[in-house]
Structure 1
Amino acid sequence: MSKFEISSKFSPSSDQARAIKEIVKSIKSGNKYQTLLGVTGSGKTFTMANVIRELNMPTLIMTHNKSLAAQLYSEFKGFFPKNHVEYFISYYDYYQPEAYIPRSDLYIEKDSSVNEELERLRLSATASLLSFDDVVCVASVSANYGLGNPSEYKGMVAYLSVGEKISQRKLLEQLVDMGYKRNDNYFDRGDFRVNGDVVDIYPAYYNDEALRVEFFGDEIDAMYHFDVLDNKRLKDISKFTLYATSQFIVGADRLKIAMKEIEEELDARLKEFNEQSKLVEAQRLKQRVEFDLEMMASTGMCKGIENYACHLTGQKAGETPYSMFDYFEISGKDYLVIVDESHVSLPQFRGMYAGDRSRKEVLVEYGFRLPSALDNRPLKFDEFISKKA
C-alpha cells in the first residue's frame, strides 16, 4: 500500500502532537467518532493531515460549502504533493432544479451551467479511488448525492497495453460504449480522433494531456502521453487504464434491462393515472418518458438521466443510493471521513433529504417524473452516519 507523505517545513507542536496521538489511538481502538476542537488558526488542518499520515487510510474530507472545500483542497494538495489529492464538488456554476408549482400551474424546467473543469475534477476523483489507495478527496455536500454504481463504472474500463492484440475498430466501439465521442476537428475532453493507424484519446478526467495509441495491424505498437496544445510527445507508457466519461455510464446489457424496467414502470403509472381520470398527467408523463427512452436507445444518455438512477444501478425502491462513500468502500479497505466545521455541516446534511423529497413528490404527483425519480436523492442523515468509515 502506498504511504502518505507530508511535505512541510513544520512539525506538530506539543498540543498538536498530543491531539494526533490521542485521535490515532482512539480510531485504532475501534471508536468511530472523534471530535477535534480548536480556535481558528490553531492548526487543525495540519493536525488532521498528520492523522491521515499516521493511519495511512484513504480519506474523504467533507465541508458545507465550495469556498471552504477549495481552501482545504489547496492546503491538502500542499501537504501531500506525492499522493493523490482530489476535489469533488457540484460541477454547476448555476443550477435551477426542476420544479412544479400547482397553484399557479407553473413548471420550472431544470436549467444549469456546467463547469467543465469541475466535472473533470469529479471524474478524476472517482478514477483515482478505483486506481490508487493513497487518495485524499476533499468534497462538499455533493458527496452525499447519488452517483452511478461503482462496480458498473469499474466494469466500463479499457485496459490497454503495448503488444495487446486488439483491432482498431474494436477499440473505437469500446470508446463509444464508454461515452467518448469521435471528433476529428475539435479535440476536447471526452473525445477521440483517428488518423490512419493512430488513435488519440482525451480522457475526460485529464487536464492538458491526452493519450496516443499507435497500431500496427491489429496490435498496439506504442502508447504515449502528448500535450494537446503543441502535440509534443511527453512520456512513453506500456500500460494504461481508461475510465468512462461519466459515473452514470452503464454497459449495454444493464442499459437494456434498465430501459425495460422503465417501460414497465411507465405502463403501471399510466394505468394508475387513467384509472384516476388524470389524463393530462398521463399524457405528460408518456410523452416525456418515451422521449427519454428513445434518447437512451440511440445515444445511451438522456437529459435528466439521473432520475432513472435506480433502474440504471439495479437498486430497489427505497434502497440507499450509491454515493461517493461507495467508491471508497469498493476496495473493501478501511477509510477515514473528516467533517470540517461539523456544527454547520451535519445539520445541513440532515436537511438535504427532506428538501429534495418535497420538490420531487410534486413532480411525481403531476406526471412530470416517474415515482422512481424519488430514489435519485441525497443520503438520509441516518444513512450518512452509519457508513462503514
Structure 2
Amino acid sequence: MAIQLAPVGLTPGGLLPYHSAGVDAGRGALAPPEAEGYFLLESLLDAFRSNPEIIETKKALRQGVVRQLLSGIGASQKTTIMASLWDGNEGSRPWLLVTHNAYQAVRIYEDLVTLLGPQDIELFPAMDTLPHEETSELENQGARARVLARLVMGEQLIVITHFSALSRKTMPPELLRKDTLRLCSGQEIAPAELVNHAVNLGYERVDRVEGPGQFARRGGIFDIWPPTTGEPYRVEFFGDEVESIRTFEPIGQRSTSQDTKLLIWPTRDSAGDVDGYAIGELVREKAAAQAIALRGAGMAEAGDRLEQTMNEMSERLEQLGHFPGRDQFMPFFYDKAGAGMTTLLDYMQEALVFLDEPVRIQEYGQAAEREIAETIMANIERGFTLRDELDIFAGYDEIMNVIEYHDTIAMAMLPTQTRGQRPERTVTFPIRTARSFQGKSDRLKEELQRWQQDRVAVLLLVHDSEQAHHLSNMLREEGINAVHDPECRTPLEGGITVVSFGKLESGFECTQPRLVVLTVHEIFGRQEKKKRARFANEGIKISTYTDLRAGDYVVHANHGIGQYLGMKTLLVAGVHRDYMHVQYAGGDALYVPVEQVNLLQKFVGSGDDVPKLHKLGGTDWQKTKTRVKESVKEMADGLLKLYAVRETMPGFAFAPD
C-alpha cells in the first residue's frame, strides 16, 4: 500500500503569477514549457554583447581564467548576461547553473527560454519524496532522465538546477548508455523481448500511448514514448524484423514522419535491469543486522518492523521490475555500496558552472543536508528504512569539492565569497533595477520622452502580441517613437522604443549599452492574480474540510477520484499536522494538508453508481484530463466554424406587418 503526503505550503507553481507553464502547481513537478509562444529577444542580446564587461568576460574564458565573479546584478540581469555570453555555445561544452531553491531555478529557466528559446535549455528537478517512500513521480523522474540522456548523447546544453536536485545521486553515465536500447530498420528482435526491455527501463504498459514513459503492444505493432522525444514512436514488425519506425500523433494516433532508428532511454535516473535476487538477498542481510542493532538499543518494535518491511521489499525486487520505493536500494545496484552512484556533475565534467548567489547556495545547501539527514535518521530509528539510504544524497562539501575542479562564474548582487570560490577576476556591471510605474501612464510617458531625448533605447515587454500592438499605438499617439516588433529584431539604439512580447522576471536599466528594459511588472505593477482551482467543473467546490463527511467521494486536482476517510493527525519531521485522509485504488493513501483543501472537490456523478477510484501515481487521471481537454477543443472548434458559417450566410428579410 502506498502512502503519500501531499506537499505542504506553497509550491513553485503557486508562487508564479505569470510563469506557470513549467510548473505543476499541485505537486511542484518541474517540466519544460512548450516551445510555442517563446520568442528570442535577439535585439536585446545583440545590444548586450557590445557591453565591455561582457566582452572582457568572454575573453577571460578563452584565456583560461578559472574563477570569475560578476557582481552588482540580480534577477533578469543575470540571465540576460548569461544569454549574451552563450553565443550558440561555440566552445562545445555544456553549462550548468546552480541556484539555491526550486522556485529560483524555475524563474531562471523561464528567463533563459525567453531569451534563447527552449531547444538548448533544460531544467533538472529535485524529487519531492525520499527514496524509500512508496510514491510515483513520473514527471520529475522523466525530466531528470531526459536531461541525463541528452548529456550522454553529447548535446551541449544549459542545465538549470538547485542544490536539492543536485544532491540526489543518479546512475553512472556508463550504465545509462548500457541500459539504452537502440533500434533500427531491418534489425532482428522479438516483440516480446522488446516488451521486457521496456519494462526493465521503467516504462508503463498501457492500452494506448498518451504520454512520455508509456508503451503499448498490439500484435506486430509496438508504440513507445521515450522521455527524450516530443512525440511517441511506432515500431512495426514483420515477424521478428523491424519493418518501419515512425513518429505519431498521440491523440489521433496518425503517423507524422518516417525514421530509420530509435533510441529508447530509461524513464528514470536510477538503474534499469538489475539482479533482483542478489540484491534482495543483500537487503535481507542488511535488514537483519540493522534490526539487531535496533533491538540492542531498546527499539524492538522498530527492529521487527524493519525486517518485515525489507522482506516484503526483497520479494518485490525478485518479482518486479520497477515499483515505488525501489530507489532506496540504489546503493546496492552497483559494484559496491555507494561507489557507483554519481551526481549530475559526473555527466558534465567539462561544464562551465554558474553559481547564482553562492552565499545563498551555501545556506540552503547546508540546511537541506541537515534536514535530509535528520529525516532519514528518524525513519531509521522507527524501522522504516536502511541506513544505506543516506548514501543516496551528496552533502554540500562533497558537491562543492567537485565544482572546484570546474571553471566557474559566480553571479551575485554583492561581491561576497564562499569557501573555494576566491575569484581571479571580479567585475561590477553598471546595471540597476528598473523603476516601477504601477500602471500610471502619465509617469511612463514622461520617462519615455526623457529617455527618447537622451537617446536611450527602451524595450517594453508585454505578454502577447495584441497587447504589444495596442501599447505601441497608444505611445505613438503620445509622440513616442515606438515600434511594434513581435520578433524583437529592431536594433536597440538611438532613443528608439521597441514594444515586443516576452516573459522576463524583471526589468533593468543599463548605462552601456544605453538601454532600459521594462516588463509588465514595471509597466503595470506586480499583480498577483488569484488562480482559479483547476478542473473546477469536476465537482462541488469545498471551502473547508468540514464540508466533507467520511465516505464522500472526492476529486483531487492531480490524483483524480478517491474516497475521503476523515481527518488524521500525523507527526511529520517532529511537527504534528492535520491531514485529510483520501484513499485510492489498491488501498493507497494520500494525506492532504487542511490548508490545501482547495485541491479537493466533491465528486458529482450520475445516479447512485459508485465511481471507480483512480490509482495513486497512475496515468488514468492524466488520460481523463487529456480526453476532456481534446473534447472541449473540438467543441470550441465546432462552434467557431458554425458561427463563421452563420456570419457569411445572407439573412432573411421578413415582409412588413
Q: Tell me if both proteins adopt one fold, taking TM over 0.5 as the criterion.
A: yes
1:327 aligns with 2:347: yes
Counterpart in the other structure of 1:228: 250
**1:256–1:9 distance in 2 versus 1, CA, 3 Å:** farther
Report if aligned partners of 1:57, 1:134 keep a CA contact under 8 Å in 2. Answer: yes
Indicate conservation of the 8 Å contact 1:225/1:233, yes or no. Answer: yes
Cα contact 1:328–1:335 (8 A) shared by 2 = yes
Matches within 5 A, 1:1-389: 8-11=42-45, 13=47, 17-40=51-74, 43-53=77-87, 55-81=91-117, 83-90=119-126, 92=128, 114=137, 116-141=138-163, 142-185=165-208, 187-207=210-230, 209-253=231-275, 255-275=276-296, 278-316=299-337, 321-329=341-349, 334-387=350-403, 388-389=405-406
Q: How far is 1:41 from its partner?
A: 6.7
Query: How far apart, in 1, do the equivalents of 2:109 and 2:212 lie?
Result: 23
Q: Per-residue displacement from partner, 1:169-214 (whole Å, max 9, x unpaired)?
A: 221221122122322256443221122211111224445x210001
Q: Which runs of 5+ in 2 are unaligned?
A: 1-39, 407-657
| Alpha-carbon offset, residue 158 of structure 1 | 0.8
Distance 2:112 2:49 in 1: 21
| Letter paired with 2:305 | R
2: CA distance, partners of 1:135 / 1:362: 39
Residue pair 2:41, 2:114 contacting (<8 A) in 1 also:
yes
TM-score where L is the length of structure 2: 0.50
Distance 2:205 2:272 in 1: 19
SS at match of 2:108: helix
Higher helix share: 1
Q: Pick closer, same or farther for the CA change 1:382–1:19 going to 2, 3 Å.
A: farther
Amino acid at match of 2:220: D
Structure 2 Cα separation of the partners of residues 28 and 257 of structure 1: 50
More displaced stretch, 16-25 vs 63-72:
16-25
1:279-322 CA deviation, whole Å, 9 max, x = no partner?
322211101111111122221334333322211244435x6952
Cα distance in structure 2, aligned partners of 1:303 and 1:32: 42
TM-score by length of 1: 0.82
SS across alignment from 1:60: strand
Give the aligned residue type for 1:17.
N
Instruction: Report the equivalent of 1:104.
Output: none
Give the equivalent residue in structure 2 for 1:106.
Answer: none
Counterpart Cα distance in 2 of 1:52 and 1:376: 33
The residue number in structure 2 matching 1:105 is none
Q: 1:55 to 1:220 in 2, by over 3 A?
A: same
Shift of 1:58: 0.6
SS at match of 2:248: strand
1:325-362: CA deviation from partner (whole Å, max 9, x where unpaired): 12223xxxx11111223332232123322221122223
Q: What are the Cα deviations for residues 122-158 of structure 1, in whole angstroms up to 9, with x where unaligned?
A: 3321221122322111112312222233322221111
2:482: which partner in 1?
none
Separation in 2 of the partners of 1:15 and 1:227?
A: 41
Q: Is the 8 A contact 2:45 2:84 kept in 1?
A: no
Shift of the alpha carbon at 1:226?
0.6
Distance 1:271 1:291 in 2: 18
Call closer, same or farther: CA 1:347–1:320 in 2, change over 3 Å.
farther
CA separation of 1:16 and 1:322: change in aligned 2, threshold 3 A: farther
SS of 2:333 mapped into structure 1 = helix
Confirm or deny: 8 A CA contact 2:168 2:394 kept in the other structure.
yes
Change (3 A) 1:313 1:31: farther
Quick check: 2:302–2:383 contact (8 Å CA) kept in 1? Answer: yes
Q: What is the one-letter code of the residue matched to 2:102?
A: K
The aligned counterpart of 1:3 is none
Q: Is the 8 A contact 1:199 1:214 kept in 2?
A: yes
Superposed displacement of residue 256, structure 1 = 4.2
Aligned partners of 1:41, 1:358: CA distance in 2, in Å? 33
The question of whether the paired residues in 2 share the 8 Å contact of 1:123 and 1:204 is answered with yes
State the secondary structure of the residue aligned to 2:93: coil
What is the CA-CA distance between 1:215 and the residue it aligns to? 0.9
- Give the letter aligned to residue 168 of structure 1: P
Q: What percentage of aligned pairs have identical amino acids?
A: 21
Structure 1: give runs of 5+ residues left out of the alignment: 1-5, 99-108
Q: Is the 8 A contact 1:120 1:206 kept in 2?
A: no
